[in-house]
Structure 1
Amino acid sequence: MKNTLAAIASWAAGILAYGPATAQSGNWNYEATIYLFAPESKTAITTPAGRIEGTLSFGDAIENLDFAFMGAFAASNGKWSFLTDYMYTDMSFGNDTPGTSYSGLNTSMTTQILNGYAGYRVHDSGRAAVDLMAGFRWFDTDTTLTLQPGTAPQRSAAANARWVDPVIGFRVRAAFSDRWQGTAFFDYGGFSSGNETWQILLTAGYALNEKWLLRGGYRYISMENEVNGNPFEFSQSGAIFGATYRF
């Protein structure tokens, strides 16, 4: 975690040193984005009988995905900005297990994540800008992990829950040229024992014209909480690609 934060700080400092990001004030500006998040997904539930963990690569997710939707919307006026981001995924998959105790692991996982933020610009040098962010992350999961019988009998663990965590963070944006721009976003929340969430988003964008922008980069998002007294963990990390319409 410390190494990750240091890397983000270095990346942000590099953007600020480069010099400025475009910003308009006085009028509302809007952005609507549809994107594809291509992550490796991990989920784990720890019960008194032990820990069960399922992992799905993005390549396998394409074959096992039942349904997914991902989109974001942003509005800004002067120094203020407001963002929402929603992800829905429904998938089921299997993993091999070591040894002969179990013959495999089956995972059924439906998740929803809704992020909402309000941001205030604290630095603007013309082509680089820094916003402080505060908001929430709503997480909903219906997850079942089932170890198939081998020499040991079948064992299952389930997490069916939803909760909301407050989050705080920052966003750094820069314009490298008339068409190229970069964004670094970080947030952290939960703030209670056994309950933690955080996210990193690094993207580069290319403006096709005044209305359309293509983006690509990397995202990591993680949630930890207790569900029915059992520690629950969920994380996704990987490439992200999107198209944004500005109006």
Structure 2
Amino acid sequence: MMARLLSSASPIALVLTIAAAFPAAAADLTPAAPQSLPVAPVATADTPVFYATGYLWASALHGTTGTLPPLPPAEVNLSFGDILKNFDGGLMAAAEMRTGRWSFLGDVMFSQVSPDGNLPGPYRTGVELRSRSLTLQANALYRVYDGPAVDFDVGAGLRYWNLDNRVNVNASPVLPGIGYSENEAWVDPLVVGRIIARLGGPWSLTVVGDVGGFDVGSTLTWQMIGTVNYQWSEQLALRAGYRYLSVDYRAGDFLYNVQMQGPILGATYRF
């Protein structure tokens, strides 16, 4: 287990394992209010509406990573349970402002993992890894279609990635102590789309997707999220669904080519 985490040093995955929705996706889903509840105010240019979301994403991680050169790239195949074993903590939150046909969304995800173990062979000295991940996203969406049963939004966004990894090899009678760190950051431009379908009563379905990178940041990144939403009250909505995220970033010896997928849960509060 230590060998897999040490070679991959994949903190982003851990963030996303407990995160949901594409950045800000959990915040940007708003199902219709139940018939027995007052209808939520419509956002206008003069009366914007605000949403705050907390979410969880139980994601597995598969792919090839080399985020601690000079360690060679390694194939990674980690379940959600594997990642949680070394989880130190994190923060995931999203927000959305709607005004008229426009929606402006933001998302922050941060986590840290600290696996440890021993070098193989005769040295048997301890190795400690600290991996931190920060992901920020900002989107602007415009409602191009507003129908009685379906709404359709399109727009653009930016997704910022920062991977900060450090490895320490403890001193032993044979080897001196060794420390090495690596930090890599990039920004991916995105094209974003969102569909909201009202299913009747308090139920709705939301599908969100984006594609980007275009060799500006990563070579290619894309994701799809589908959630079923339940409007618990006028202010509170609950959601459950599935998310898939892929990213392929390369810079010299640094490689992060992974696919993350798993179920998501979220709750959104309207102010």
TM-score (norm 2): 0.69
In the TM superposition, residue 115 of structure 1 has moved relative to its aligned partner by 1.3
Which has the larger strand fraction?
Answer: 1
Amino acid corresponding to residue 119 of structure 1 in structure 2: L
Amino acid at match of 1:65: F
In the alignment, structure 2 segments of 5+ residues that lack a partner are 1-30, 33-40, 169-179
1:68-107 paired onto structure 2 within 5 Å: 68-93=90-115
Check 1:124–1:41 CA distance in 2 against 1; reply closer, same or farther (3 A cut): same
Quick one: distance in 1 between partners of 2:213 and 2:84? 31
TM-score when scaled to structure 1?
0.75
CA contact (8 A) 2:107 2:136 kept: yes
Structure 2 residue matching 1:213: 3-state secondary structure? strand
User: Residue 212 of structure 1: which of 224, 236, 241 is its match?
Assistant: 236
Residue 176 (1) aligns with residue 196 (2): no
Task: Report what 1:7 is aligned to.
Answer: none
Change (3 A) 1:175 1:107: farther
SS of equivalent to 2:234: coil
Offset at residue 224 of structure 1 (A): 2.0
Quote the RMSD (CA, aligned, Å): 3.6
Deviations 1:173-209 (A, max 9, x none): 1111221111101101111186222121111111111
How has the CA–CA distance of structure 1 residues 34 and 24 changed in structure 2, closer, same or farther, with 3 Å as cutoff?
same
Q: CA deviation at 1:85?
A: 1.6
Partner AA of 1:179 in structure 2: P
Label 1:145 to 1:187 Cα distance change in 2 as closer, same or farther (>3 A).
farther
Contact 1:218–1:237 (8 Å) recurs in 2: yes
Alignment of 1:113-152 (within 5 A): 113-143=135-165
2:87–2:114 contact (8 Å) kept in structure 1: yes
| In structure 2, C-alpha distance between the alignment counterparts of 1:41 and 1:107, rounded to whole Å | 18
CA contact (8 A) 1:138 1:164 kept: yes
| Structure-to-structure mapping, 1:227-246, within 5 angstroms | 227-246=251-270
1:24 is matched with which residue: 35, 42, 46?
42
Report the AA paired with residue 100 of structure 2. G
Matched, 1:34 2:54: yes
User: 2:73 maps to what in 1?
Assistant: 51
Q: CA deviation at 1:217?
A: 0.9
SS at match of 1:24: coil
Q: How many residues align?
A: 221
What one-letter code is carried by the residue in structure 2 that aligns with 1:111?
S
Amino acid at match of 1:24: V
Runs of 5+ unmatched residues, structure 1: 1-20, 147-156
Q: What are the residue-to-residue correspondences of 1:54-69 with 2, within 5 Å? A: 54-69=76-91
SS in structure 1 opposite 2:73?
strand
Decide whether the 8 Å contact of 1:116 with 1:136 is kept in 2: yes
Kindly indicate whether the alpha-carbon contact (under 8 Å) linking 1:45 and 1:158 is maintained by their aligned counterparts in 2: no
- Percent identity, aligned pairs only, is 34
Distance in 1 between the 2:181 and 2:131 partners? 10
Aligned to 1:10: none
Provide the rounded CA distance (Å) in 1 between the counterparts of 2:167 and 2:65: 8
